[in-house]
């Protein structure tokens, strides 16, 4: 992408398109009446804030810009949307004003009432795999289990019983409701408050009603007991970890005496836990055992009941995770059958969308069998009823299923000019009548459909285009623009506009996208150090084509970029699978090539390049300064996986298979292989009670760096787990500023 070199770095073609949209909105929405209303409102509104950072320290500049972002109201986003009962008007908020649009007269008028504030907000961190998320501590918070754990109590839908997992066993105890309900007379009448044991003899290595850390972390299994919809039956896990090696972490490092934390943690190639399911009948007190695969090398997860309660549904995938079965089990006999099978040459998504229709038998299924995420209509008999979409671009999500009109509304990355732009589509539930409903070559977010399915509101934006919201008919006609951003609010900052850039990968074909932010005092005649903010792991996405006013950390004196390397999501199966069997190869190469691309610009100092990230981002940061020492001079690596042999089976084998199967891939992606290459500055940060990326990852790298007589820095936090807090943020920025020579 090219940009001009004026103070605000505005793309003139895009500015023209905004101006054209504004003129169109005045014409469509009533012209002089709307203009007069807006002028009167402008006279009452305070003048846009002018952000002054001259004379401030870098720390003060960062705080000033961050605070201004929280106050910045540019408008353009329609929020607080409320449709009238008759569907002829809609009320919404924009720029702290409450407005009403009449579909009949196409007029826009202010109304009384509280308005939502729409903010530009701080730069979005890249959504990552679970390995990227901060730790949740050692206990339950907000009713949710701690990270990697499962809930210990489950209340039955009728409130009559509470399933409890305690001391590795399952029991049920009376709930608050004890009267009879239809289909569950067993809940009626006075009962003894004594818990009813369902299992006995459970222990840490062979447990009931709970799973393990690796299931919670990598398969999102936050529960391990499941009530039937009519509360008549309880399904629960039987979890066998007897062959799983234990991992030990020393805790209490700041106490008088330490203690040992023990966790069954399977690492690549080691024995996995074996998950089975049992179902307890409350009335008969009998237990049925769900039929299990003969080899035991399958993961059993995403357990839930069918809407009618007649079947227990769950997903099952093989150890390579390239074949997925959605199973249905008979709760009385435990017999199972396959509903859907999906296979991939690389890895298959473990939990594709499965959304039931109102009849509880048909469901919309997400499949990548043609290399792109698409939707099918299936039923619980296993029959394919219709191929809803068969596009060569990925669907992004379901906006609404309108069964009354037999229509599915969904978003997809169908914009040819930029694969990051989501557009709204519709298709009939028999697969006919597919149509794209939004037209602008921008990213469409915050889509709201009217209750009657006749209209929708969508916000269009880009990294360097402020949001605007328009109203459309669901036949695709655009009625007009409801609200646009007030650019004067941003212009008062004298802030360079963020930039979406792209370059070719080393195959000469694949486009790689990134976002670049600049400081408020940016001068294209000067040279600035470049800093890469990285995650980059499989099934993550860090770059979104959405407007964010600034990155406050640029005020330290950096240019800051985020790059979505091959292996991230939203670009189709081939793009996502490009790093299969070789993590740390093409993904790392794309980050280095992105630096080389930006370093060609006269204001980028290619001799002062830093990188930072946490978890997979920590791995990429450490690997960058070791594998590409001539490209990256400084790195801050938080909780890095230094060798994939150290991480858990489910995550690692999904993308790498086992070390026995893929020795070369494990070696190519190991930081340990490149320890002797260190030339720049490396700070390694780790929490000492990290039960996700274990501290021995860092110790292994530290050992080799010391043996190679390579100086480095490290900061260890004795009381933190994977989500390091404390002064970590200050330490990181202080280190990057010092070694990249700013301020």
pLDDT in tens, 601-648: 999 999 999 999 999 999 999 999 999 999 999 999 999 999 999 999
Structure confidence by residue, pLDDT tens digits, 590-613: 999 999 999 999 999 999 999 999
The pLDDT of residue 679 is 97
CA distance 80 to 116: 6
Sequence-separated (6 or more) residues with CB below 8 Å from residue 282? 161, 172, 184, 186, 187, 231, 232, 233, 234
Report the residue count for the chain.
743
- For the cut 50, the answer to whether the pLDDT of residue 737 exceeds it is yes
Kindly indicate the confidence band of residue 49, based on its pLDDT and cuts at 50, 70 and 90.
low
Between the CA atoms of 567, 572, 574 and 579, what dihedral angle is there, to the nearest 10 degrees?
10
Residue range 368-389: mean pLDDT, rounded: 97
Res 39 pLDDT > 80: no
Dig out the tokens for 45 from the structure. Answer: 């509104």
Backbone angles phi, psi at 399, to 5 degrees: -90, -45
Summarize the confidence of residues 187-212 as an average pLDDT: 84
Matching residue, tokens 């790059």: 563
Question: Among residues 648, 547, 557, 540, which one has the least CA distance to residue 605?
Answer: 557
Q: What's the pLDDT tens digit per position in 257-280?
A: 999 999 999 999 999 999 999 999
34-43, 505-514, 712-721: the lowest-pLDDT one:
34-43
Tokens (6 digits) for 294? 């003969």
In 3D space, the residue among 192, 230, 207, 232 whose CA is nearest the CA of residue 152 turns out to be 207
Is 70 exceeded by the pLDDT of residue 18? no
Q: Check residue 11 and give left, alpha or beta (phi > 0: left; psi -120 to 50: alpha).
A: beta
Share of the chain above pLDDT 90, in %: 76
Residue with tokens 């990852």: 697
What token pair was written down for 418? 């930029």
User: Which residue bears the tokens 């509304």?
Assistant: 409
Residue 281 or residue 69, greater confidence: 281
Nearest partner of 278 among 231, 326, 226, 318, judged by Cα? 226
Token pair for 1: 């992408």
Q: Is 50 exceeded by the pLDDT of residue 12?
A: no
pLDDT higher than 70, residue 297: yes
* pLDDT confidence tier of residue 185, bands split at 50, 70 and 90: low
Q: Quick one: 547 exposed, middle or buried, by C-beta within 10 A (0-12, 13-18, 19+)? A: buried
User: How open is the CA angle 131-137-142, to the nearest 5 degrees?
Assistant: 105
Q: CB under 8 Å to 392, separation ≥6 — which residues?
A: 370, 371, 372, 572
Nearest-CA neighbor of 328 among 279, 273, 388, 387? 279
| Number of CB atoms found within 10 A of residue 200's CB | 11
Q: How far apart are the first and last CA of the chain?
A: 30
Query: What count of other Cβ atoms lies within 10 Å of the Cβ of residue 58?
Result: 18
Are residues 506 and 593 in contact, defined by beta-carbon separation less than 8 angstroms? yes
Query: E strand or H helix at 316, and its extent?
Result: strand 312-318
Domains of the chain: 147-466 (2.140.10.30), 499-740 (3.40.50.1820)
**H-helix segments, 151-286:** 213-218
Task: Examine the pLDDT at 20 and tell me if it is beyond 70.
Answer: no
Q: What is the pLDDT of residue 558?
A: 96
pLDDT of residue 186: 52
The CA distance from 542 to 384, in Å, is: 35
Counting DSSP H helices and E strands in the chain, the numbers are: 12, 39
pLDDT for 116:
59
pLDDT in tens, 541-583: 999 999 988 999 999 999 999 999 999 999 999 999 999 999 9
Q: What is residue 70's predicted lDDT score, i.e. its pLDDT?
A: 77
Q: What is residue 53's predicted lDDT score, i.e. its pLDDT?
A: 74
Q: Per residue in 695-725, pLDDT tens?
A: 999 999 999 999 999 999 999 999 999 999 9
* Per-residue pLDDT, 11: 33
Average confidence score pLDDT of the chain? 88
E strand intervals along 526-640: 528-533, 559-564, 604-614, 634-638
* pLDDT for residue 95 is more than 90: no
**Residues 342, 368: contact at Cβ < 8 Å?**
yes
Residue 5, both tokens: 């070199």
Q: Are 608 and 633 in contact (CB under 8 A)?
A: yes
């Amino acid at each position: 992408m090219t940009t001009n070199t004026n103070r605000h770095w505005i793309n003139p073609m895009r500015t023209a398109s905004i101006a054209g949209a504004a003129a169109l909105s005045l014409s469509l929405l009533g012209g002089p009446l709307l203009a007069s209303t807006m002028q009167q409102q402008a006279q009452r509104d305070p003048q846009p804030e002018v952000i002054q950072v001259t004379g401030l320290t870098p720390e003060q500049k960062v705080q000033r810009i961050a605070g201004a972002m929280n106050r910045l109201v540019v408008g353009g986003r329609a929020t607080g949307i409320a449709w009238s009962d008759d569907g002829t008007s809609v009320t919404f908020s924009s720029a702290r004003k409450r407005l009403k649009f009449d579909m009949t007269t196409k007029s826009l008028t202010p109304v009384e009432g509280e308005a939502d504030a729409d903010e530009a907000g701080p730069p979005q961190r890249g959504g990552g795999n679970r390995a990227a998320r901060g730790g949740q501590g050692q206990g339950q918070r907000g009713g949710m289990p701690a990270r990697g754990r499962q809930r210990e109590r489950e209340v039955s839908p009728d409130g009559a019983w509470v399933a409890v997992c305690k001391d590795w066993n399952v029991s049920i105890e009376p709930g608050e409701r004890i009267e009879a309900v239809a289909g569950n007379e067993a809940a009626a009448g006075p009962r003894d408050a004594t818990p009813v044991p369902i299992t006995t003899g459970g222990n840490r290595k062979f447990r009931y009603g709970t799973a393990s850390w690796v299931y919670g972390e990598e398969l999102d299994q936050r529960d391990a007991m499941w009530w039937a919809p009519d509360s008549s039956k309880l399904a629960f896990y039987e979890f066998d970890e007897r062959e799983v090696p234990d991992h030990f972490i020393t805790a209490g490092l700041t106490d008088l005496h330490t203690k040992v934390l023990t966790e069954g943690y399977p690492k690549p190639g080691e024995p996995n836990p074996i998950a089975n399911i049992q179902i307890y009948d409350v009335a008969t007190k009998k237990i049925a055992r769900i039929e299990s695969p003969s080899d035991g090398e399958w993961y059993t997860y995403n357990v839930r009941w069918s809407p009618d309660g007649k079947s227990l549904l769950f997903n099952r995938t093989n150890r390579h995770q390239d074949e997925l079965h959605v199973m249905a089990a008979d709760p009385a006999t435990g017999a199972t059958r396959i509903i859907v099978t999906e296979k991939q040459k690389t890895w298959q998504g473990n939990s594709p969308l499965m959304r039931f229709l109102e009849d509880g038998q048909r469901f919309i299924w997400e499949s990548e069998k043609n290399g792109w995420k698409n939707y099918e209509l299936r039923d619980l008999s296993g029959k394919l009823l219709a191929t809803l979409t068969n596009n060569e671009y990925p669907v992004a999500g379901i906006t609404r299923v309108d069964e009354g009109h037999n229509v599915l509304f969904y978003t997809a990355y169908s914009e040819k000019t930029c694969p990051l732009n989501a557009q709204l589509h519709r298709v009939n539930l028999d697969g006919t009548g597919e149509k794209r409903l939004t037209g602008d070559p921008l990213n469409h977010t915050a889509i709201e459909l009217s209750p009657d399915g006749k209209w929708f509101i969508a916000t269009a934006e880009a990294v360097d285009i402020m949001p605007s919201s328009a109203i459309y008919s669901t036949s695709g006609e655009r009625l007009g623009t409801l609200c646009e951003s007030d650019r004067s609010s941003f212009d008062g900052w004298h802030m360079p506009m963020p930039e979406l850039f792209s370059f070719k990968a080393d195959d000469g074909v694949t486009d790689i996208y990134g976002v670049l932010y600049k400081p408020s005092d940016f001068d294209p005649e000067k040279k600035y150090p470049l800093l890469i903010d990285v995650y980059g792991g499989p099934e993550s996405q860090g770059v979104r084509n959405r407007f964010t006013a600034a990155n406050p950390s640029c005020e330290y004196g950096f240019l800051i970029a985020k790059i979505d390397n091959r292996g991230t999501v939203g670009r189709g199966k081939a793009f996502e699978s490009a790093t299969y069997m070789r993590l740390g190869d093409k993904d790392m190469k794309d980050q280095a090539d992105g630096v080389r691309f930006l370093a060609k610009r006269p204001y980028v100092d290619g001799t002062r390049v830093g990188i930072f990230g946490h978890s997979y981002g920590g791995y990429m940061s450490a690997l960058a300064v070791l594998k590409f020492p001539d490209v990256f001079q400084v790195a801050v690596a938080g909780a890095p996986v230094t060798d994939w042999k150290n991480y858990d089976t489910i995550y690692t084998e999904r993308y790498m298979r086992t070390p026995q199967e893929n020795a070369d891939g494990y070696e190519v992606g190991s930081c340990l292989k490149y320890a002797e290459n260190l030339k720049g500055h490396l700070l390694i940060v780790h929490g000492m009670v990290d039960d996700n990326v274990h501290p021995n990852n860092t110790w292994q790298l530290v050992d080799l760096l010391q043996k190679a007589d390579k100086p480095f820095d490290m900061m260890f936090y004795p009381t933190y787990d994977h989500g390091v807090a404390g002064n970590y943020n200050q330490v990181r920025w202080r280190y990057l500023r010092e070694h990249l020579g700013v301020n």
